Amino acid sequence: MQLGHRTLALKGHNTRMIKMVDLTIRHGLSIVLAFAFIVFSYVGNNEAQAQSGGSIQNIQVEGNRRVEPETVRTYMQLGPGDRYEAYKVDASLKALFSTGLFSDVKIRKSGGTVIVTVVENPIINQVAFGGNSEVDDPTLGSEVQLKARSVFTRAKVQADVQRILDVYSRNGRFAASVDPKIIELDHNRVDLVYEIYEGPSTKVKSINFIGNSAFSDKQLRSVITTSQTNLLSFLKPTDIYDPDRLNLDRELLRQHYLKNGYADARVISAVADLDPAGTGFYITFTVEEGDPYRFGDILIETSLSDLDPDSLRSQLKTRSGRTYNAAEVDKTIEALTVAVSEKGYAFARVRPRADRDPIERTIGVNYVIEQGPRVYIERINIIGNTRTLDYVIRREFRIEEGDAYNRLLVDRARQRLVALRFFKKVTISRQRGSAADRIILNVHVIEESTGELSFGVGYSTQEGVIGDISISERNLMGRGQFIRLKLGGSFERAQIDLSFTEPRFLGRNLSAGFDIFHKEVDYTDESSYSSTRTGGGLRLGFPISENIWLTTRYTFTREDIDAEDDASDAILQAEGVNNISAIGYTISYDTRNVKRNPSKGIYLSLSQELAGVGGDINYLRTVAEARAYYPIRDKIVLVGRLVGGHITGWDGQDVRLVDSFYKGGETIRGFARSGYGPRDDDGDSLGGTMFYAGTIEARFPIPFVPEELGLGGAIFADAGTLYDVGTGPSAGETFFDSDSIRASVGASILWESPLGPLRADFAYVISSESFDEEEAFRFGASTQF
C-alpha cells in the first residue's frame, strides 16, 4: 500500500513541474516577441521619417532625351533643402503631366536624392488622313491642332478627332467616324494617321413652319439660308444641316417679321429631327406671329442743352401710319446718333421708348437723346475670317478705333454683317482696354461658302428647249465683290454674260460694276432677220432714301443685223453693222416684304436710255412699271401690274424696227411671241414705238396638294396694246397697225421646281386683231412680277 502511495505522489509532483516549465517558456517567448516588435517599429519609424521628412540634397532626372533636366526641375514643387513631403510629390507629378511632354512620370527618394524618371511623348513626324474624299486634306489639316514636329499626346489626338467629326457634321455627314493610328519610328518619332469613314451624306429633306399665317411656308423658305434637298443640291451646300446656319435662320426669320409689322413675333424653336434611317433631317420652325402693328406718334425728346429736337426730324426713317418696321427704328437710331455726334455730342446715346396701343394696334416711338458714358474704342479685333479681308468687315462699322463707343452703332454693324450672308455666325464681344475708359471690341465670325454653281433646263413653247448655267461668287477673293458668268441658250437664242459688282465703290455706299455680253438671236420666224449683239457697259448705283435706289449706266453695243431677202423694207434698211453708244438710268421704289414671292408691298421703276452719245444710232427709250401685292386672305395674294414704254428717234433719225418694242405672251398671255402689234402682209412682226399693258392676278395654293411640292395656282386677266411702227414701210408695201386693246383671261399652274420656278399658262383671248398670232398654252420659266 505504501509503495503505491509514493508512486502516485511522484506522478503528481512531475505534473506540477511540467506545468511550471511550460508557463516559464510561454512567458519568455512573449517577452521576446514584444521586444522584437518594439525594435522593428522603431527602425520602421526611423526609415519612414527619413523618407518623408528628410532634407532633399539633390534632384536627379532620368529617362529624358530631348527635354533638358533643368526644364524638368522647374516644374518640380520641391527642391534642394526642402522636406520630402507627399503633397509636394503629388503636385510635382501633376505639373509635369500637364506639360504634355511626358507619357509617364515617377518620383522616388534614395537617401538625400530625389530621382525623377520620365518617359517622353514622341515627336510627330507627319500627320496624314486616309479615307476622306468629301473633305480634302488641307481643310482637315487646318482644323486639327497636332502638326508635324509637335509633341504627341493622347488628349490632343482625341480633341482633334472631335474637330474632324465637327467638320463632317457641318458637311451633313453625321455618321462619320475617325480612328487615329500611330506608326512608330526611330528616335522616338511617330507618324499620326487619321483613318476616316465618312459615311453617307445627311441632307435636309424638309423644312416646315408651324404657327405662320401671314406668310406661307414658301415665302419663309425664301428668307432663310438653309434649303431643302433637290435634284440640284450638289451645286450648293445649303441643303446640309448645320446648327450654326440654323441659328442664323432663326435670326433672319425674326428680323423678317419685325420689319413687316409683327412686333410681337417670336421664333419659339427650330428643331432638326433625324429620320430613323439616318438619311435626312426634318427641320421645323415654330413661330408665334402676333398681331400686325403700325407706327403711332413719332417724337424726339432730349435732355441735352442747346439741342433742338425739331432740327433732327429730317433724320427720322419712321413715319406715323406706316407699317411698323423694326429695321427702320434701328436706322433712325443710327441716323440720330450720327447727327447728334456731328453737332458736338460725341457721347450722346439714343434710346427708343415704345408706346404700344394693343387696341389700335399702333406703336408710338419716342426717341430719347441723353448723355452716355464717356468710353472710347481702343481697338477692334477681327477674329475667324480666314478668307474675308479685314477691311470688308470693318467698313460695315460706322465707328472707328478712337471714336466714342456707342452700343447701338455696334449692334447695327453686326446686323449689316449678318445681312452680307458671308458668315454663318457673327458675335461682337467687349473687353476692358488699357484704361478704365477704354474698351476693345472683338468681332468673331464663322464664314460660310459664298460660291454657287446653278443651271436650269426646261422647255418653252416660244423657244423650244431652253437651258442656262451660271457660276457666281458673292465674296470674290474675300473682298466682298460679286461676279457671275452666265451662259444660256435655246434653238433660237445663244448668249453669254459676265457681270462684276463692287458694292462699296471708293469705300462709300456706292455700287459700281461692269457687264460684258454677247447675244445671238434668230427672229426669222417672227420678223425675217437675225441679230448679233456684242458689247459691254459700266454702271453706278446708290440709295437716295430708304426705299429708293438710283442706278446710272453707260452701254456700248456693236450690232450686226442679217435680214432675209423677203424681209420688210424697214428691216432691210437696218441690215448691216452699227455701233450703239447709250447712257441711261433706272430709279426704283420698293416696299415689298420679300423680293421673291412677295405678298405685300409695291414696286415702282422708271428707266430711260439715250442712244447717240457717239455711235451710229439715236433714240430715247422710256419704260415705266408698277406692281402691287395685297394679301386677300390666308396665303391668297392679289397681284397687279402696269407697264408701258415709248421710244422715239432724235437728231433726224427714225426709230429702226430692230430697236422697237416687240410684245407677246410675256405681257398678254394668249398671244405668241411678238404675237400682237404692227405686222406686214407677209406676217412678219414690225414692232411698235408705244406699248402699255396691265395684269390682275390672284395667286393661291392648290387645295389638297402638299405645300412642300411647291405647286400653286393663279387666275388672271391681261390687257394692253402695241402700236405705231417706227421706220415706215416703203411705198406700196402693205402693213397692219392698230392701237386697239387686246385682252385675255386664263389660269396658271406655278411650280417651284428643283430647276427653278416654272409656270404653265392656259389663256383665252377675248379681244384681238385679225393679224395677231395667238397661243392658248404657254409653258416655260416663270417671270417674276
Residues of the chain with pLDDT > 90, as a percent, come to 29
Once rounded to an integer, what is the mean pLDDT over residues 386-395? 89
Q: What are phi and psi of 184, to 5 degrees?
A: -75, 135
* Average predicted confidence (pLDDT) for the chain: 83
Query: How many C-beta atoms lie closer than 10 Å to residue 23's C-beta?
Result: 10
**Euclidean distance between CA atoms 693 and 716, whole angstroms:** 13
> CA nearest 203: which of 178, 227, 235?
227
**Euclidean distance between CA atoms 45 and 52, whole angstroms:** 11
Model confidence pLDDT, tens digit, residues 134-152: 888 888 888 888 888 888 8
pLDDT of residue 56: 84
Instruction: Output the CA torsion sign for 594, 595, 596, 598.
Output: positive
The answer to whether the CB of 257 falls within 8 A of the CB of 269 is no
Q: Which three cell numbers stand for residue 334?
A: 443710327
pLDDT of residue 137: 87
Q: Residue 70, SS3?
A: helix
**Euclidean distance between CA atoms 566 and 731, whole angstroms:** 16
Name residue 354's amino acid. Answer: A
pLDDT of residue 720: 96
| Whether residue 468 has pLDDT greater than 60 | yes
Model confidence pLDDT, tens digit, residues 346-372: 678 888 999 999 899 999 999 999 887
Model confidence pLDDT, tens digit, residues 159-180: 999 999 888 877 777 778 899 9
Once rounded to an integer, what is the mean pLDDT over residues 182-194? 88
The answer to whether the CB of 750 falls within 8 A of the CB of 757 is yes
Q: Residue 65, SS3?
A: coil
Q: How confident is the model at residue 39 (pLDDT cuts 50, 70, 90)?
A: very low
pLDDT of residue 458: 56
**Dihedral class, residue 435 (left if φ above 0, else alpha if ψ from -120 to 50, else beta):** beta
| Whether residue 630 has pLDDT greater than 70 | yes
pLDDT of residue 727: 67
pLDDT of residue 303: 84
Lowest mean pLDDT among 127-131, 143-147, 373-377, 457-461: 457-461
Burial 96-116 (b: 16+ CB within 10 A, else e): beebebbeebebeeeeeebeb
| Higher pLDDT among residues 186 and 627, named by residue | 627
Once rounded to an integer, what is the mean pLDDT over residues 475-493? 86
Q: How confident is the model at residue 765 (pLDDT cuts 50, 70, 90)?
A: very high
| Whether residue 82 has pLDDT greater than 80 | yes
Give the dihedral of Cα atoms 454, 458, 463, 469; nearest 10 deg.
10
Residues of the chain with pLDDT > 70, as a percent, come to 87
Lowest mean pLDDT among 297-311, 336-350, 433-447, 609-623: 336-350
Lowest mean pLDDT among 26-35, 403-412, 642-651, 776-785: 26-35
pLDDT of residue 381: 92
Size (the chain), residues: 785
| Whether residue 203 has pLDDT greater than 50 | yes
Reduced to 3 DSSP states, what percent helix, strand and coil does the chain have, rounded to the nearest 5?
A: 25, 45, 30
Once rounded to an integer, what is the mean pLDDT over residues 563-579? 78
| Whether residue 22 has pLDDT greater than 90 | no
Lowest mean pLDDT among 208-222, 273-287, 455-469: 455-469
Q: Residue 140, SS3?
A: helix
| Higher pLDDT among residues 219 and 287, named by residue | 287
Model confidence pLDDT, tens digit, residues 216-229: 888 898 889 888 88
Q: Which three cell numbers stand for residue 421?
A: 450672308
The answer to whether the CB of 606 falls within 8 A of the CB of 624 is yes
pLDDT of residue 40: 43
